[in-house]
Structure 1
Amino acid sequence: MKIAFLNRKPCYTSYERLLSRRNWMNKLNLWRSFQNWNLDKKLILLYTLMILLPVLVITFLGFQRYSENMKQNTGEFSIELLNQLGKNLDNYLKELDRISISFALDTGVKDALKKNQEYTAVEKFNDKILIDKALMNIVLVPYKDVLGTYLFKADGEIFSRYGSGQQVDYSHFLEDPWYKKVLEAEGKGIFLPTYSLNGLDNQEHAFTFMRSVIDVVKNQSVGVFRMDINLDGLSDIFSNVLTGIQQQLFLVDAEGNIVYAQDSLKIAQAFPIALNEDHGSFLYSMEGKEMMINYISTQVAGWKIANIIPVSELTHNIDILRNLLWTLTGVALLLSIGLSILLTTRLLRPLKKMKALMNKVEDGDYTVQFKTQSNDEIGKLANSFNIMVKKINELVHHIFVIRILKREADFKVLQSQINPHFLYNTLESISMKAEVDQNYEVADMISRLGRLFRMTINHSRDLIVFAREMEYIDHYVILQKIRFPRMTFIIEIEPEVMSSYILPWIVQPLVENAIIHGLAQQATEGWIRIEGIRVDDDVYIRITDNGVGMADEKKRELQAALLTDAYQEEDEIHIGLKNIFDRIRLYFGKGYGLTLTSELGKGTSIEIKVKFLERESANHAEHNDH
C-alpha cells in the first residue's frame, strides 16, 4: 500500500494581512496622537525638523564629499611621492649601471681577460694588479655602499676587492644559478634580489648588480662583473621622504620579493599582495585593518615602489572634522529647539489669550474684548473676534427682549380672545334675528363677518393651505364690495398653488392695502387681480390694482423700509408691508420676500415669492419650528 503525500506550501496570506493591518493601525494611531498634540508642540517639532534636517543633510553630504576628496588627494599625493622616489631610485640604479658599463668597457680589463694560459707570470701579475685597481676604484669613496666588487673568469679564476663588506666565498660560482643567469643576459645588467649576508634575517642585507664583459670581436663573454651593494643608498633615498603621515614604504622586485623596507625584518620576504599592474591604488585589509596601497614601477630595474597607509591615518583629520561637525550639529539642534520654543511662544501667546477669552464666552461672558495693537493676521483675527462677540452679545440681548415681548403678546392674546368670541356669538344672534325678519342681505353680511372673526381666531398655525387664505379673502372682498360696488376682483391661481401651504395673513393685508390706498381714492371703476404660479420650487403670488399708484420718491422710501431693521411707526403701509416681508424672510430665508412696482396714476403691483410647500414638507417645517 502506497501513501502519497501532497507537498503544500503554507499559506501566510492571512497572517501577513494581519501584520500589515496592525502596522497600518499603528501608523494611524501615531498620526492621531500627533493630531492631538498642542499647537505649540507641533510648531516646536516642525521648526526643529525644518532647521535640523537641512543641517544634518548638508553636514552628512559635506562630510562624505570631504572624506572622498581627502582620500583622493592623499592617493594622488602618494602617487606623486612615489614618482619622485622612483626618479631618485632610477638615478641611483643608473649610476650603478654606469659603473658596471665603465668597468666592462675598460680596454685594459678586456685585454687581460682575453689572454690565454700561455702568458708569462709577470704579465699575469701585471694583469691582476690592473684588474684589482679597477675593482678598487669602485669600492673607494664616493661609493661607500658597495660592499665588494668581483670579476669572474670562465676558467674559474676570481678577482675581488672589498669595501665596507666582508669577504664572501664565491669559489663555486660556476655552479650558481646567478652565474648562468648573467651569461644568458648577454651583456645586459641584471639585479639579484635582496639577501642576508650571513643567512640570518636580522643581519645586514644587500643586493647585487651584475654584467657580462663581452668580447665584441668574438661576441662572447670573457668574464662576469659583480657588485654587492648594501642598502645604505636605498635607505638614504627612502629616508629623505617627508610625508607628514604614517606609512610603510617598500621596494619590491619583479618576483614579488621585498628589496627594501623600513622594517628590516621584512626585507627579502615576499610582499603580501600581488602587484600585477605597472601602477595602481586600492584598499586592502591587513591584520584586521583597512589599508590604502599605492604603487608605481621603476624604469631601470622594473622594481615597484609601494606605500601602505592605514586608512585610519587618512581619516584621522576626517574624524576630528566629523566630531567637530557633530558638535556643531548638536549646538545647532539646541539653538533650533530654543529658537523654536521662543518663536512658538511669541506666536501662540495671542492665540492662547484668545482661547482663554473664548472659554469665557462659552461660560456666558459676552463682554470680553481682545486688545491688541498689531495689524497682522492676529490683529485682524482679534478684530473679527471682538466684532463677533459684540454681535453675539447684541443678538443674545435681542433674543432676550423678544422672548419677553412674546410672553407679553401671548398674554395679551389670551386676554383678547374673549372679545372675538363674544363678538362672534353676538353677530350670530344678530344674523338669526335678520333672517327671522326676512332681511337676508343683512343676514348674509353679518354671517360673513362672523366667519371672518372665526377664521381670525383659528389662524394660529404657522402654515395654512393657500385655498384657506383665499377663502378668507373672498369673505373680505364681498364685504368690501358693499362699500365699493364698482370694484372688480379677478383670481388667476394655478391648482397646485391653491393646494400649497403658505404663511397666514400675507395676502389679505396686501389686498386690503390695494382697496384702501389704491382704489378708494379714485372715482373710476377699479379692479384687483390676484395671480399665483409655480416656478420650479418657488411660488410667485402677484397682487395688482389699477389704483392711484405712488410717486417714485414714496416708492423708494417704501422699498428702503423693507430692507432696514427699523419700523416707520407713523406709516401704516410701512408697518404692514414690513411685517409681511420680515415674516417671509424669517421663515423661508434670504432670497424670498416682497417686490414692489408702482407708477403714479396707473396702479401698484406687489409680488410675493415663497417656497413651494406641500403637505409633508409643510408638516415637517412646522414641526421643526415648534
Structure 2
Amino acid sequence: MLAKGVLFGVKTKMILTFTICIIIPGIVFFVFFLQSYSSYVLDNVIENKENIMKEAQKNMEFRFEAYKNTSMTLYYNEAMKAYINQEEYAEENPLVNQFLSSIVNSDRYIAAAVLRLGDRIYGSGYSYQNLEDYFVRHEQDILAQKGRAMWNPTEVMTASYNQTPDNFSLGRAVNSELHNVGSFWIFFSSEIFNNIFKNSIFHEESTDYYMISEDYQIITSSNKEMTGSRGEEGLCRRAWETGNGNFLYEDEGSGKEKIVVCSYSDMTDWLLITVTDKSTAFKDVTEMKKASVIIGSLYVLFILIAYCFFSKEFFGPMKKLSRKLYNVTERKFEKIEETGRTDEMGMLMNNYNYMVDEIQALIENIREEEKAKNEEKMKVLSMQIGPHFIYNTLNTIKWMAVVNRQDNIKRMVESLVKLMMSVTYNNSEEITLKEEKALLESYVYIQKMRFTNFDVEYELPEEIQEFKILKLLLQPFVENCILHAFKGKAGVGQITIRFYEKGGVLEIDITDNGLGFDPDAITKNGNEKNEIDHVGICNVIERIWLNYGKEYGVTIDSAAGMGTAVHLHLPVICGGGEKNGESSDSRG
C-alpha cells in the first residue's frame, strides 16, 4: 500500500517558517506604517491648505463685500438718484462722470467704472474698445438679477493705446422708481488677487492655484498666462462636483497624481482650487519606501543564506528523486535505492518505489481495457449491417409497391426510409429549415395513413429556407398535435407551422385548433401520468438550452377547448454556419 506522506515537505516547511516568522510580519509592519504615515501626510497637507484657503476666501469676500457696498452708492447719491429717476438721458450729465471718477479713484484695484442708461454710456478709468461685445455677453444675466450684484469672470479686455488688461467685473441692474433703466459696472484688475493670495502655500513650487467660475473660466491663477482663459475641463468638472472638499486627480499631460483642494464662495459663485504634486508632498514617504526596500533586501539575503544551508542537507536527496521521477516520464521505471531514512525524504523514496510498481500494473490494466474496447467497436460495426439490411428490404418493398401501382405504400416506405436515414446516417446535429420541413412532411404522411382527421399547412419563406435548426426539433410538437389535440374532436383538425425572422431571431409558431391542455402540466411531477408527451417537449427545451443558451427556448399558450400555440425562439444560423453574423463557434 502507498505510504501516507506528510502534509508539508522539508523545503515547504523551511520557506513557510521564514515567510511566516520574518517576511510577513516585516511586510505587514512596513505596509501598515507607510499607509498610516501616508494618510497622515495627506490629511496634514489637505487640512493645512483648507485652513489657509478658507482664510483667503474670507479676506476676498470681506473686500468684495466692500466693493458691493461701493456699487450701491449709486443710490445713496441724491443727485445721481434724481438723474436716474428722471429717465431722460439725451444730454450728457457731468455729474455722472464726476461720480464714476470718484469710484475709480477710491481704490487702486478698480480699473474702470461704467454706467449705461438707455443708449448713453458713461465711463471712467480704462476706455474699453470691446465694451459693446462685453455687454452682449453679460448684460442679460445682470438684468436677470433684478438689481442684485453679480460677479463676472476675468477676461482680457481691449483698451486704448493697445492695452489688454485682465479685468473682472461687478455688475448690477440700475432701476428707476418705475422700472429698469440700465446697468452699472465696476471693473477690477486681477492684480488684486496677488494681495489676497499672498500666503506661501499659493506660491509653492509644487502647487498651482486657480479661481474658476461655473463655466470653467479662470478668474485668476498662479500661472498668469492662463488668467481669462478656460480651464482644463476634466479637472474643473471634478472640482465643481466636489465643491468644498478634496480629491486625487491624475494630470492628463504629465500623468502625475495631484492633490486637489477646493473652496467655494457663496458671494461670488467662484471656486478656489489648489493643485499640488503628490510626489513632492510625499517626499518623506518616498524616502521611507526606499529604506523599506533596503531592509527587505537584507531579509532576502538572510533567507538565501539559510536556503543554501538547508539545500545541502535536505534538497540534494530531493534532486536525486526528481531525476528518477523524470525517468518515469520517459517510461524508464527505475526504483531508487533504499537509504533507511525515516523522515520525509525516506517516505518519499518508499512512496516512489511503490508508485513505480503501481504504474506498471496500471499500464497492464490499460492494455487489457483497450483490447476490450476494440472488441466492442468491432461489435458496433457489425451491428451497423442490420439497419443497412432494413433499408435494402424497405427499398425492395417500395419497388414492389411501384410494380403493383400501390402509390400510398410506396410513398409511406419512402417517408419511413427518409426518417430512418436522417437519424442513422446523417451525423450533423443541425439541418436547414427546408430539410426539417421535408422530414416533417415525411412524418406527417406516415401519420396520415393512420389518422385522417387533420391537415398540416407550412409557411416557410424562400429567403430563410437555408437557415439551420436542430434536427427533428419540431417533430415532438407535431406528434402531440396529431395524437392528442384532435382526439375526440369533431371535424378536421388544422396544424399550421409558420417560420419567420424577427429582429435577428428565428421565430417558429406551431398552432392547432385542437382540444388544448394545461401548459403547467409540463412542470408537474414526472410520476403523474399525463396524456401529452411532456418528456418529448422537455427534451426539446433542454436541447435548445444546451446548444444555444437559456436566452432561447419554447413558450406554450393553451387552454381546454381553445387549441394550442407553441412558439419557438431560436438564433438565426445561416447556411454557412454563422449565427447572427457571428461564427457558429460562438454559441454558448
Shorter-chain TM-score: which interval? 0.3 to 0.5
TM-score (norm. length: structure 1) = 0.42
TM-score (norm. length: structure 2) = 0.44
Larger gyration radius, structure 1 or structure 2: 1
